[in-house]
Amino acid sequence: MQMPEPEARILSRKAEIVARLEAALSPGAVIHAEEEVRVYECDALTAYRCPPLAVILPSSTAEVAAALRILHEERVPVVPRGSGTSLAGGALPTADSVILGVARMNRVLETDYENRFIRVETGRTNLSVTGAVEAEGFFYAPDPSSQLACAIAGNIAMNSGGAHCLKYGVTTNNLLGVTMVTMEGEVLEIGGHALDAPGLDLLGVICGSEGQLGVVTEATLRILAKPEGARPILLGFDENEVAGACVSDIIRAGVLPVAIEFMDRPCIRACEDFAHAGYPDVEALLIVEVEGSEAEIDDQLAKIREIAARHSPREMRESRSAEESAAIWKGRKAAFGAMGQINDYMCLDGTIPVSALPLVLRRIGEMSRDFGLDVANVFHAGDGNMHPLILFDANKPGDLELCEAFGAEILKLCVEVGGCLTGEHGVGVEKRDLMEHQYSAADLEAQLRVKDAFDPRWLLNPAKVFPLHVTAGRRMAA
Amino acid sequence: MKDAPYAAAESALAGEIAAAHEAGEPVEIVGGGTRRALGRPVQAARAVSTASLSGIALHEPGALTLVAGAGTPLAEVEAALAREGQRLAFEPMDHRGLLGSSGEPTLGAVAAMNNSGPRRIQAGAARDAMLGVRLIDGRGEVVSNGGRVMKNVTGYDLVKLMAGSWGTLGLLTEIAFKVLPIPEAEATVMLTGLDDARAVEALSAALGSPYDVTGAAHGEGRTLVRVEGFAAQIAHRGPALARLFSPFGKAEIVSGEASAALWRGVRDVEAFHGREGAVWRVSVKPSEGPRLVSALKAQGAFAALYDWGGGLVWLLTAEEGDAGAALIRAETRARGGHATLVRGSAATRAAVEPFEPAAPGIAALEARLRAAFDPKSILNPGRMRG
């Protein structure tokens, strides 16, 4: 992965920069010893590593502002970091950058059930937001699979989704307001508690900007009343195409499941070997979950059975209890772990129009043969967000490069059929160099101008999202 | 999209805007013209019509997606969706009745003003349903952002930035929407005779229940909560909500077309149609809505209607002096909310800032963004704040 050359003027001033940060922050908030900063050399995309110049862990918005004022003055790049669970290298440092971690800022600031929101510091983990409100019968809807560890800061930066976003939307649809510190150290209140905000929708463009427009330190999130209950049905088919058509028919019929998950044969096999979930021996498997009262669930599952029956399913297994639901979900939830047991893998994240599903699965199968690498498919079928897992051997010279080339071809295919490079993981460094396949020069230029407006010196989260050659002129001039 | 019926029209308009940029000549972007009396009067010598950007380029019912030109009449889009049993779930308001205007509202205006009705509380706003846009910026360059798939985090989300920018950042040419199925049945659970504070308590109780409420409004002595879904679901949720409401009074359940008519009324602020005066739209925390209104009523004559569980307040007041601007803004801001003048004479709209003024840091950022998209301020100048 090509990264910008670290600037000698910054590396040579490390001691002074560290001293200034230490003077401005609470004791213990600045980490600069070589062996200690190494902990922050990568996120969940572990193939790329680079220790940062230093790491700061502020405890308040005021401290974040104080630190950013110094770093802006010193013209030091800043890499914001939540919990470091990015699969796209969204928090990969450069050698001349300072990591700004919000992990110590994890308090709940306000819960308001009457008005249905919670305000938190953004170092708080996703799952613990729901944890703070579930006793009152509420939950926070976006549920990325890393929700036990991932921070709200990262969720906002990447506009994270999850398995249930077909019904509840992604982060941007559940975010009401933020406190954001600009690179200059100015504290801005954006949005608020209401369901709309005055002026331009700054909140909308900040969410998903991968930490390149500002550092979000506090967030007001919508919380929703928990449904009465939820239960899945498992459907098995002889062909991927048929399973795809069944998904489309379910959606058209007006049933809006909270989740429709799809697994293909290689994935089903791996999950069976690993989790022994008792999945049927079929080409394609769907898990469709609906919500409501017991009677409502029965009624909706009956409708889904009726639709599925028209597609000659090999298996229809409706959950009747919490135990049966857990058994149906067991394999799916173990999917990534299962693949990790048998191989190294790379997880892709492209989204396609649901109608293109059969074509894309067929083409991936053909490419798999051409590249000589196996692929297992598991994804959120209702919204077309695919997660092909390409299996490779990290110890085999050239295999990672081959895998990356294969991945790039799959993502280009996603764009070709009307989809996009990334549905929920973000561009980061991983897909940076593919951006020109999705966007024209004018399309990218419009995005770069937004960056100019927020961060004129181009210091925030360097070398992410855009190909380096596209941003070179701006970075040099800044 | 490639091969869209309005592709040539987009190129022609881009040429027109490029020429206007070159000459430094401001233009007013006009769709159906039904909301020209909303916001500040635009300072432009001529209008650019989006009428040529008309047509549905793609509707995939099985993928819940529709892509159409910005000049497409909303009615045409809704009819095409209805033929497949689908709709725009965010329930955009028709402003003709309130503003006394005529013409056909277009899809572009719905997007440009982030026009969202009662179902905003459950299905999200227009901006939440917008999957992608194409636009012509103030230099005449065509820019595409987002796409036509439901989950997309590829690059910055300019789609949201365009939603609610009132044509001041770019002329929208095409919008891709997520659409949803029209449920089999709907019902409204109605309470009567509650005062505003008690009504919002009832709405909060409903919104805090597991019954997936899709509308929560109060006005004219009626407190309304809507549920939608399969007939069997509605048969369960309607009575369940009526039971939940028992501390507030005996609830009546209205279904079918009678229920739909009630929500058209809420959506279009029907209670204020044909009544003289300035109309303001205020956003606050739901629990603050009734407190705001009672503070205002203590200082002047105001009529109020509530939507979004109490968080969206429509105010009618005499159009004298500043049409209540200073008072409404002070009381709203004290509660962390914001206010927009939706109906007022041209003189009032020129004298009063129709949009909530921004805090200094935000105003500077907005100005930089405007300059980035439209360096010579030729697109709808003066229309929005800033």
CATH code for position B292: 3.30.70.240
What local confidence, expressed as pLDDT, does residue A354 receive? 87
- The CATH number of A230-336 is 3.30.70.2190
Query: 3-class DSSP state for residue A125?
Result: strand
CATH no. for residue B261? 3.30.70.2190
Measured between CA atoms, how close is B103 to chain A, in angstroms? 27
Q: What is the architecture of the domain spanning A8-101?
A: 2-Layer Sandwich (3.30)
Q: Tell which A residues from 250 to 289 touch B, by Cβ distance under 8 Å.
A: 251-254, 256
Measured between CA atoms, how close is B49 to chain A, in angstroms? 23
Residue A384 contacts B, CB cutoff 8 Å: yes
Task: Give mean pLDDT, residues A257-286.
Answer: 90
| Range scoring the smallest mean pLDDT among A394-398, B10-14, B273-277, B287-291 | A394-398
Residue B236 contacts A, CB cutoff 8 Å: yes
Looking at residue B279, the DSSP 8-state letter turns out to be E
Considering only CB atoms, which chain B residues are within 8 Å of A164?
Answer: none
pLDDT tens-digit series, residues B213-237: 999 999 999 999 999 999 989 999 9
At the topology level, CATH places domain A343-416 in: Alpha-Beta Plaits (3.30.70)
Residue A352 contacts B, CB cutoff 8 Å: yes
Are the Cβ atoms of A172 and B207 closer than 8 angstroms? Answer: no
Are the Cβ atoms of B165 and A227 closer than 8 angstroms? Answer: no
B267, B291, B309 - which closes a domain:
B267
| Range scoring the smallest mean pLDDT among A375-384, B116-125, B201-210 | A375-384
What local confidence, expressed as pLDDT, does residue A32 receive? 97
CB pairs under 8 A between A and B: 262
Q: Are residues B107 and B139 in the same domain?
A: yes
What integer best gives the mean pLDDT of chain A?
A: 94
Q: Which segments of chain A belong to CATH 3.30.465.10?
A: 108-225
Q: In whole angstroms, what is the distance from residue A184 CA to residue A460 CA?
A: 11
B267, B295, B316 - which closes a domain:
B267
Residue B131 contacts A, CB cutoff 8 Å: no
- Closest residue in B to A419 (Cα–Cα): B149
Residue B312 contacts A, CB cutoff 8 Å: yes
The residue segments making up the domain with residue B60 are 7-181
The dihedral region occupied by A195, where left means phi > 0, alpha psi between -120 and 50, and beta the remainder, is alpha
Which of B151, B161, B230, B333 to mutate against chain A (most A CBs within 10 Å)? B151
Q: In whole angstroms, what is the distance from residue A140 CA to residue A118 CA?
A: 9
Q: Are residues B262 and B146 in the same domain?
A: no
Residue A90 contacts B, CB cutoff 8 Å: no
Considering only CB atoms, which chain B residues are within 8 Å of A449?
Answer: 372-373
Residue A201 contacts B, CB cutoff 8 Å: yes
> Is residue A251 predicted with pLDDT exceeding 80?
yes
> Is residue A340 predicted with pLDDT exceeding 80?
no
Residue A374 contacts B, CB cutoff 8 Å: no
Query: 3-class DSSP state for residue B131?
Result: strand
> Is residue B386 predicted with pLDDT exceeding 70?
no
- Closest residue in B to A166 (Cα–Cα): B150
> Is residue A71 predicted with pLDDT exceeding 70?
yes
Q: Which segments of chain A belong to CATH 3.30.43.10?
A: 8-101
Tokens of B378: 């030729």
Q: Are residues B190 and B332 in the same domain?
A: no
pLDDT tens-digit series, residues A176-221: 999 999 999 999 999 999 999 999 999 999 999 999 999 999 999 9
B137, B153, B181 - which closes a domain:
B181
Q: Are residues B133 and B236 in the same domain?
A: no
Are the Cβ atoms of B232 and A296 closer than 8 angstroms? Answer: yes
DSSP A347-404: E---B--GGGHHHHHHHHHHHHHHHT--EEEEEEGGGTEEEEEEEE-TTSTTHHHHHH
Are the Cβ atoms of B365 and A453 closer than 8 angstroms? Answer: yes
> Is residue A59 predicted with pLDDT exceeding 90?
yes
Contacts of B181 (CB under 8 A, 6+ apart): A251, A252, A253, A254, A256, B64, B85, B86, B87
Q: In whole angstroms, what is the distance from residue A36 CA to residue A59 CA?
A: 19
Measured between CA atoms, how close is A15 to chain B, in angstroms? 33
Query: 3-class DSSP state for residue B171?
Result: strand
Q: In terms of Cα–Cα distance, which of B100, B118, B143 is closest to B263?
A: B118
What local confidence, expressed as pLDDT, does residue A163 receive? 81
Q: Are residues B66 and B143 in the same domain?
A: yes
Measured between CA atoms, how close is A235 to chain B, in angstroms? 19
> Is residue A334 predicted with pLDDT exceeding 90?
no
What local confidence, expressed as pLDDT, does residue A132 receive? 98
Measured between CA atoms, how close is B379 to chain A, in angstroms? 15
Q: Are residues B42 and B176 in the same domain?
A: yes
Measured between CA atoms, how close is B32 to chain A, in angstroms? 23
* Residue B327 parent element (H or E): helix B325-334
Residue B18 contacts A, CB cutoff 8 Å: no
Q: Which segments of chain A belong to CATH 3.30.70.2740?
A: 343-416
Are the Cβ atoms of A198 and B127 closer than 8 angstroms? Answer: no
Q: Are residues B54 and B169 in the same domain?
A: yes
The number of C-alpha atoms within 13 Å of B122 and in the hemisphere containing its C-beta is 24
Q: Are residues B17 and B164 in the same domain?
A: yes
Residue B141 contacts A, CB cutoff 8 Å: yes
Q: In whole angstroms, what is the distance from residue A400 CA to residue A23 CA?
A: 44
- Closest residue in A to B121 (Cα–Cα): A195
Q: Are residues B233 and B289 in the same domain?
A: no
Residue B185 contacts A, CB cutoff 8 Å: no
Are the Cβ atoms of A438 and B154 closer than 8 angstroms? Answer: yes
Residue B284 counted as domain residue:
yes
What local confidence, expressed as pLDDT, does residue A166 receive? 86
Indicate the number of domains in chain B.
3
State the amino acid at position B345 in one-letter form.
S
Tokens of B142: 């065509």
Q: In terms of Cα–Cα distance, which of A233, A252, A347 is closest to A299?
A: A233
Q: Are residues B74 and B138 in the same domain?
A: yes
Q: Are residues B54 and B147 in the same domain?
A: yes
> Is residue A365 predicted with pLDDT exceeding 80?
yes
CATH no. for residue B96? 3.30.465.10
- Closest residue in B to A449 (Cα–Cα): B372
Q: Which residue has the higher pLDDT, A330 or B282?
A: B282
Are the Cβ atoms of A351 and B152 closer than 8 angstroms? Answer: yes
Pairing of β A78-81 and β A98-101: parallel
Q: Are residues B171 and B311 in the same domain?
A: no
- Closest residue in B to A415 (Cα–Cα): B147
Assigned CATH class of A108-225: alpha beta
- Closest residue in A to B339 (Cα–Cα): A198
Tokens of B209: 């229940």
Q: What is the ipTM of this complex?
A: 0.97
Residue A226 contacts B, CB cutoff 8 Å: yes
Residue A203 contacts B, CB cutoff 8 Å: yes
DSSP B332-377: HHHTT-EEEEEE--HHHHHHS-SSPPPPHHHHHHHHHHHHHH-TT-
